[in-house]
Amino acid sequence: MAHVWPIGGGKGGSGKSFITSSLGRLSAELGKKTLIIDLDLGAANLHTLVGVPDPQKGFSDFIRKKIPLLEDTVVETPSANLFLISGAHDNFDIANLSYEQKIRTLRAIAKLDFDRILLDLGAGTSFNTLDFFLISQNGIFITTPEPTSVENVYRLIRSIYFRRIRYCFNVTEFKELEVEADRQFGDGSFNRPDSLMKVISRTHPEKYTQLNIEFDAFRFKLIINQVRKHDNAALGLQMCRMMDKHLGLNMEFLGNVAYDEHVHDAICQQVSFLERYPYTKTATDLREIGKQIVESAGRQLTLRYM
């Protein structure tokens, strides 16, 4: 199975698509056969960022079964080694994918033959977005330094863990777990994945072991984008520590990406920022992070419910 890197964040405009397209290009340049998939349906614009203004096919053709195989919806981009599944012609929201469509998509992604697959996921915490994060241990979260964006990322990550725990239990069992977490650890503890896990370790030891193995394998990663000179450069590391302390979750900080007005210029001129402005701090930051994606060689998770 290819390395799948779901990329998301709680807020629109934080730079998910810009970062996905940039990391895709870098991975391709470094010799990996790379696919980027636009799953921000309804707000899809990845095609424009990688120089494919009018893709002739895309994800919606697979969903509507016009093209039976997901691999046949792949289009080339002007960059060698970089391929795209576009969301350009999707006029429905990803949140509206049916269960059957979602499982079909998840299975099809798992079978694609690429070295790296980057998923540009929409903002928010719809179940579909959470499930796309759960197909890989390599989820990347993008936030700006603004507290509103940071808060949304926390919520998204917590929701992903809850979604995974939720899969193991029926409605009544899950309710019982929540009540028990609040009883043992204080009101509101049902909202903390680590409190729920402590309860599960006693009430359902086998499920606990399974979940623990999966959560241990998670290598969720954080990128802070649009960092300006006066912003707190240590925010990323602080967020990772908070995540550990308050939610009991592992997260790795990949780095800051500097704010640069030229990003806007490059997008407006429809040229690659990395090619046009290679000597900027932003480009250097992106290359550092791109290297980490290419060099990583971890095991891939396979979802139980797939």
Ligand X SMILES: Nc1ncnc2c1ncn2[C@@H]1O[C@H](COP(=O)(O)OP(=O)(O)O)[C@@H](O)[C@H]1O
Q: Which x/- pattern, by CB under 6 A, does the window 266-305 give for ligand X?
A: -x--------------x-----------------------
Min separation Cβ 255 and ligand X, Å: 12
Q: Please check whether residue 90 is in contact with residue 57, taking contact to mean a CB–CB distance below 8 angstroms.
A: no
List binders of ligand X among 172-201 (CB under 6 A).
none
DSSP three-state, residue 53: coil
Whole-angstrom Cα distance, residue 71 to residue 83?
11
Min separation Cβ 100 and ligand X, Å: 28
Length of the chain: 306
From 226, 239, 274, 283, residue interacting with ligand X (rule: CB under 6 A): 226
17 binds Mg ion (CB under 5 A): yes
Q: Please check whether residue 156 is in contact with residue 8, taking contact to mean a CB–CB distance below 8 angstroms.
A: yes
Whole-angstrom Cα distance, residue 165 to residue 183?
19
Bridge-based pairing state of the strands 140-143 and 221-227: parallel
Name the one range near Mg ion by CB under 5 A: 12-20, 50-58, 142-150, 190-198.
12-20
Binding partner of residue 276 among Mg ion, ligand X, none, CB cut-off 5 to 8 Å per kind: none
Name the one range near ligand X by CB under 6 A: 90-98, 146-154, 178-186, 256-264.
256-264
List binders of Mg ion among 35-74 (CB under 5 A).
40
Q: Please check whether residue 142 is in contact with residue 8, taking contact to mean a CB–CB distance below 8 angstroms.
A: yes
Name the one range near Mg ion by CB under 5 A: 33-41, 89-97, 179-187, 226-234.
33-41
Q: Please check whether residue 258 is in contact with residue 281, taking contact to mean a CB–CB distance below 8 angstroms.
A: yes
Whole-angstrom Cα distance, residue 270 to residue 49?
7
Contact residues toward ligand X (CB under 6 A) are 12-18, 225-226, 257, 259-260, 263-264, 267, 282
